[in-house]
Structure 1
């Protein structure tokens, strides 16, 4: 009598080891052109570690309007640099801030590149809508 059970059992055990050892959150890079198609005409809302971080409106011509938490807004631009997305803001010192856009089973997120103290920081997109930002500032 042929006993296939040990072979099937060994195969199942090997498959279980492969599956359990596989990363639970596979990351897929998003190209700058795919990001532009996703973001243009929308406001994206970001969290860091589950806490609200800020929002950014993406307009035609790769222009943006960023609002950190509940503060004032600042205008900026973005450009593709290889597989990165790099931003420059009017209130900055001219320095570019570059991110890699990624997708996992939870959705889209950005990882800060570079060698500064915040390198590796991740911002997760938690909402996307067509509502313009309401920027703070003095009221009349």
Structure 2
């Protein structure tokens, strides 16, 4: 009886932490899609087109777009955009079939969420 009471006082085991998406899982989820992202406070944070070959095109809805690439590094999904030598890395998870990503470059960074929005990527600054 005493043993059962002591066990009741122990903290419950924590649920297994959600696993980060691998590069292959991320690639399978995004390639060929254009995905809109939001934060907890910003309904339209940005939109990104995921092209073949791990290439991307990002816009913050201002009509300007940046081309880049993504790659897996130390369990994160990192993006390197033209004209910006600093990679942007995210701890990326699949939650209820949608991406949730936590910015890894700084502590307590931005968290973004994939939305159901079906918006086009509009780039006013691209030349052919």
Q: TM-score with structure 2 length normalisation?
A: 0.74
Q: How many residues align?
A: 117
Residue number in structure 2 paired with 1:114: 105
Aligned to 1:133: 121
1:83 is matched with which residue: 67, 75, 80?
A: 75
Gaps of 5+ in 2: none
Corresponding residue of 2:49 = 57
What SS does the corresponding residue of 1:35 show, helix, strand or coil?
A: helix
Q: Do the aligned residues in 1 keep the contact of 2:61 with 2:122 (CA within 8 Å)?
A: no
1:73 matched to which residue of 2? 65
Structure number with higher helix proportion: 1
CA 1:28–1:97: 2 relative to 1, 3 Å:
same
Q: Which runs of 5+ in 1 are unaligned?
A: 1-9
3-state SS of the aligned residue for 2:86?
A: coil
**Structure (1 or 2) with the greater strand fraction:** 1
Bigger Rg, which one: 1
1:43 aligns with 2:31: no
TM-superposed CA distance for 1:32, in Å, is 1.6
| Distance in 2, Cα, partners of 1:105 & 1:40 | 18
Q: Which deviations, in whole Å up to 9, do the C-alpha atoms of 1:59-117 show, x marking residues without a partner? A: 0111100001333111011111131111111131x1111111113348321111123xx
- Runs of at least 4 residues off by over 6 Å: none
Question: How many angstroms does 1:119 deviate by?
Answer: 4.7
TM-score by length of 1: 0.68
Question: Cα RMSD between the aligned structures?
Answer: 3.0
Matched position secondary structure for 1:127: coil
